[in-house]
Amino acid sequence: MDGGALHWEDTNTGFMAEVSDKLKDKITCLQCGTCTGSCPVAFAMDFAPREIIRMLQTGQRDKALSCNTIWVCSFCNTCYTRCPGGINIPEIMTVLKNTAMKEGVSPEKKERNFYLAFAKTLEEHGRLFEPELGLRYGLTVGLGRVVSDLPMGIEMLRHSKLPLLPHRIKNPKKVSKMMTRIHEEACE
């Protein structure tokens, strides 16, 4: 890929090429650090956003996929908004999350379970049934989590904020299969 002088390519591992191919965009990062300076959750990250891009440039694939950064990112898009190079950093985080999920290298089991529980409720109903997501996810974390969430659940029930029945689309199974087909044919 011809990325010009800014597109530092790690020729040994091809990690940069792997990510930018999936992103379908060049990652012309100057390492200015605007992303890190703008990130509201950098305080909770193993490595700040700028360092993740540096890992792409230097081919540190394992490190990028196994740090907590990609899971702490709250997808607020502030970095993308401010990046002078217009680099879609939240989408880079998404590419890395996809890869980490697929390869099972993420140390963040909670996240994995949350996203799988989310997908499962959509598969069933075509729309998100929030109480079911809470329960499905809670149970993967452990009974303790479900118990600790109970007071909030009761408070929400008291305020009629929890529906008891899901809203379904006409044919959730069909739509779910269609989405799987799109996923497969888009070669992800």
Which one of 2, 4, 104, 185 is in contact with another protein (CB under 8 A)? 185
Q: How far is the CB of 31 from another protein (least distance, A)?
A: 22
CB 71 within 8 A of CB 111: yes
65: amino acid identity, one letter: L
Which one of 84, 110, 147, 154 is in contact with another protein (CB under 8 A)? 110
Q: How far is the CB of 108 from another protein (least distance, A)?
A: 7
> How many residues comprise the chain?
188
Instruction: Point out which span in 5-13, 29-37, 52-60, 124-132 binds another protein (CB under 8 A).
Output: 124-132
Q: How far is the CB of 76 from another protein (least distance, A)?
A: 4
Based on the number of CB atoms within 10 Å of its own CB, is 150 exposed (0-12), middle (13-18) or buried (19 or more)?
exposed
Hey, what long-range contacts does 116-125 have (CB within 8 A, 24 or more apart)?
121/166, 122/172, 122/176, 123/172, 123/173, 123/176, 124/166, 124/172, 125/166, 125/167, 125/168, 125/169, 125/172
Contacts for 143 with CB less than 8 Å, ≥ 6 apart: none
Binders in 36-95 for another protein, by CB under 8 A: 40-41, 43-44, 71-72, 74-78, 80-81, 86, 88, 91, 94-95
Which one of 8, 15, 47, 114 is in contact with another protein (CB under 8 A)? 114
Which one of 6, 32, 98, 157 is in contact with another protein (CB under 8 A)? 98
CB 163 within 8 A of CB 133: no
CB 60 within 8 A of CB 12: no
Q: Which residues bind another protein (CB under 8 A)?
A: 22, 24, 40-41, 43-44, 71-72, 74-78, 80-81, 86, 88, 91, 94-95, 97-98, 101, 108, 110-111, 114-116, 118-119, 122, 126-131, 137, 152, 155-156, 159-163, 167, 169-170, 174-175, 178-183, 185-186, 188
